[in-house]
Structure 1
Amino acid sequence: MDLMRKAKNLYRVNLGIAQQNAVGDASCLPDLVFTPVPCYALPVSTDDKAASLKSGVRRESSDDSVQSVCFFHDNIRIREIRSSQAYGPTFGRFMAMLLYRGESLVMVLDSHNRFRLHWDSIIVNSYYRYEDPKALLSHYPPSATDDASDIHSRDKNSIAYLCNASFDEMLGYPVLAGILIDSPARFHSNLRYNDPYVAVQSKNIKPSDNFRLPQPWAAAGFMFGSGLIMREVPFDPHLPHIFRGEEILYSMRLWTHGYNIYSPPCSILYHYYDRRNDPKVWDDSPMWSTLERRSRRRVHYLIRGRFPLKAGEVFNNYMEAPPRVLPSTRETEVLLDVERYGMGRVRTVEQWYNYAGVDPIHHTVDGRWCKNIYMSK
């Protein structure tokens, strides 16, 4: 419950958990969630008869001073799923999304994180600085350790900027990567890629004042933006056991729906990446590989993935790279609810490839988003 303990405004934070546990596993909710804790940021009602407030209780102490207490449990919604019925990260995100209740802002996370103090205030204030209702902040959170003092000793100004990607030929699409940076101002020139699509033009932003880090990628382990995303770009439940491929697909769906993806200006949490001895979802699913291959075909259909084609090469009478999944396919797994969980209509898939610097025909990435960091060395 590190997330709840370190929130500045606990009564404003609602938590939706998709708990995918095996029989006999301990619940994600410790006894602490039922224990009253001080809630210093809870607003006090002017009505003396109002004894209770959302996510907190107002109490009169013996010296007539007003105190507030919160119960973590009041702000938690949980959906319990047998681990044997879990179908990978995208399915888990879909199940958590069903707990959305119209909040104005949402944050999507993987489990196993540790948080900075007042993380909620930091990320909300950062988000509103963009003055972009379609802004989405996303990156790979830095790695957590078991050292309790480690978080406080880190440089909180560094960030993993998702400016890099490379094609995985086995998968047939790019896999993204982050580069640790410490100064958004160094990437001022990257704003020019947003100029045709975003109201705030690069010429109106001084390099020294730049905090915006646009990027074509969204990382599933951390996303923060408008709650409308849950309605407009819902997570796809029809991608069982997909892992690599989830992020490029959701990045393209966000962007084609008109969302502008940025790296946050700082990290607010740290993630446990190395859990080698813990059970994995594929341990409970003998159909993992088969279902993943089917899901990959759905990904290719939506992103219009192609086989690589070398210059002058002809492939099965195609003069250009042939599609991995034909547009005329009738495969149920590929087409199920594709209008609901497919691309948007604000921008096109072809525009995203051009924006990202990705060539889906020759399977290359031009590196434009990271180029200036290499040039500065």
Structure 2
Amino acid sequence: MKIFISIASYQDPLLLETLCSAYTNARFKDSLVFGVCEQADQGIDLDSIVFKDQIKYELLDPVMAKGPCWARGRIQQYYSDEEFFLQIDSHTIFKANWDHILIENYTWLENTQKDSFVISGYPREFKPNSDLTSFELDTSSKVTWGIALQEDKIFDDGHYSGQRAFPTDLTNPLKGYLIAAGFLFTRGVLVNEIPYDPKFYFHGEELSLALRLFTNQWDVIYIPEAPLFHFYTDVNNLPRKLHWDEEDEKNRIEKWTELDKKSKSRLTDLILNKLDEPFGLGNHRTIEDFGALIGVDMIQKKINNLDLATKSLSFKEITSGTLPYKEILLK
């Protein structure tokens, strides 16, 4: 039962830590297959990694880079029918037995759901020390976190809408509608059915994928205590370049501002159903249905229910009449 792990990295000093954390903390280490697109001046030393034969790796000059979606799309070319697919960012630390935990969650949820689904959400954070020898993991929150639209970013600069995470008062999985690109776990068939669109840049990545999932009759589910942690902010002792870094940007033919403009325009084309397969909307559910569920009119760019849009009151708690959710991790 193999897991393909997609990791896009841009000038990230934590990439090697992410790879080693995933491998070291997995219960079934031999079942992991890593797909890595590293965009850096100097790549990781692949030969120094004991599990290098499990890594499908591409190193690119950062001047060539066109954003995370472009990199994630390249990584999916390495996918080879592994049963499960996990997409993360290159600054992620894993809990012990994370693979077992995710598969147990997925299997339990599969028995409650009629449609295909992804497990997603913004993971809890971690903070590294300056020499990357230890990590402070935020394990304080035990509840399920959901994703809603960010009030001051709804239809910001066109159809693009920002997102935010917030805690609920529940410890069962919840069904929602928005995804986090830095944590996405599901069956590997997703790669073939809804492949990543490399023409998106950064803004629009998560909303576009959420719309494609929804209209193709895929659901989004959030779980409590997801077994991985994300580094959300740079600190003074761990700086890293971002894609729009001036030193890299000056050598690019196509600047990040133009990529961003094209990405937001492509999001509008998606919402207006102007994109062809395999990157367009599905025909199983409508974008109007999606908008009604989250309180906005995606086409007309109108907020119909601000509380619904920004607090996701439409979340649906998932339970089972057979095995209670809290029992699955005791197996």
TM-score, normalised to structure 1, is 0.67
How much is the aligned-residue C-alpha RMSD, in angstroms?
Answer: 2.3
Give 1:364's aligned residue.
303
Which one-letter code corresponds to 1:341 in the other structure?
Answer: F
Q: Is the 8 A contact 1:107 1:223 kept in 2?
A: yes
TM superposition shift of 1:165: 3.8
Deviations 1:7-66 (A, max 9, x none): 0110111111111112xx2416471x23xxxxxxxxxxxxxxxxxxxxxxxxxxxxxxxx
Shift of 1:150: 3.1
- Give yes or no for the alignment of 1:92 onto 2:71: yes
* 1:173 maps onto 2:174 in alignment: no
Asked if the contact 2:85/2:185 (under 8 Å) is kept, the reply is yes
Deviating more after overlay: 347-356 vs 5-14: 347-356
2:88 corresponding residue in structure 1: 109
Shift in CA distance, 259/248, structure 1 to aligned 2, threshold 3 Å: same
Letter in 1 for 2:265: R
User: Among 169, 177, 181, which residue is 1:220 paired with?
Assistant: 181
SS where residue 80 of structure 1 aligns? strand
Partner of 1:126: 105
Partner of residue 249, structure 1:
208
One-letter amino acid of the counterpart of residue 181, structure 1: T
C-alpha deviation, 1:362, in angstroms = 4.8
Tell me, yes or no, if the aligned pair for 1:357 and 1:368 is still in contact at 8 Å.
yes
- 5 Å matches for 1:262-273? 262-273=221-232
Q: Structure 1 residue 251: deviation in Å?
A: 0.3
Whether 1:355 aligns to 2:293 is: yes
Residue 236 of structure 1 aligns with which residue? 197
Q: In structure 1, how many angstroms separate the alpha carbons of the residues matched to 2:216 and 2:94?
A: 30
Indicate yes or no: 2:294 matched with 1:301.
no
Answer with 162-171 or 125-134: which moved more. Answer: 162-171
Partner of 2:243: 281
Q: How many residues align?
A: 274
Q: Give 2:148's aligned residue.
A: 163
Query: Aligned with 2:210: secondary structure?
Result: helix
Give the whole-Å Cα distance in 2 for the aligned partners of 1:78 and 1:4.
15
Shift of 1:253: 0.4
Residue by residue over 1:176-227, the C-alpha shift from the partner in whole angstroms, topping out at 9 and shown as x without a partner, is: 111023524xxxxxxxxxxxxxxxxxxxxxxxxxx23011101101001111
Q: Which amino acid aligns with 1:263?
A: Y
The TM-score normalised by the length of structure 2 is 0.76
Q: CA deviation at 1:84?
A: 1.0
* % identity of equivalent residues: 25
1:247-289 deviation per Cα after TM superposition (whole angstroms, max 9, x unaligned): 1111000111110111123221111121263111122235111
* Aligned partner of residue 53 in structure 2, secondary structure: helix
Match of 2:283 in 1: 345
Q: Give the Cα separation in 2 of the matches to 1:87 and 1:171.
A: 21
Residue correspondence of structure 1 range 311-350 to structure 2 within 5 A: 338-350=276-288
Contact kept, 8 Å, 2:145 with 2:168, in 1: the verdict is yes
Matched residues in 2 for 1:372 and 1:295: separation? Answer: 29
User: For residue 8 of structure 1, what is the amino acid of its counterpart?
Assistant: R
Distance between the aligned counterparts of 1:362 and 1:236, measured in 2?
Answer: 23
Residue 74 of structure 1 and its aligned partner are, at CA, apart by 2.5
Residue identity in the other structure for 1:9: F
Distance 1:15 1:272, change over 3 A: same
- 2:32 equivalent in structure 1: 13
Rounded to whole Å, the distance in 1 between the matches of 2:312 and 2:262 is 35
1:80 aligned to 47, 54, 59, which one?
59
Instruction: Kindly name which structure, 1 or 2, has the bigger radius of gyration based on alpha carbons.
Output: 1
- For 1:365 and 1:20, the matched residues in 2 are separated by 41
SS at the partner of 2:292? helix
Counterparts of 1:339 and 1:371, CA distance in 2: 30
The DSSP-based 3-state class of the residue aligned with 1:87 is: coil
Q: Which amino acid aligns with 1:295?
A: S
1:113–1:270 contact (8 Å) kept in structure 2 = yes
1:103, 1:227 within 8 Å by CA — same for their partners in 2? yes
Which residue of 34, 38, 44 corresponds with 1:27? 44
Q: Distance in 2 between matches of 1:372 and 1:354?
A: 12
Q: Which moved more, 1:126-135 or 1:358-367?
A: 358-367
- The one-letter amino acid of 2:148's match is C
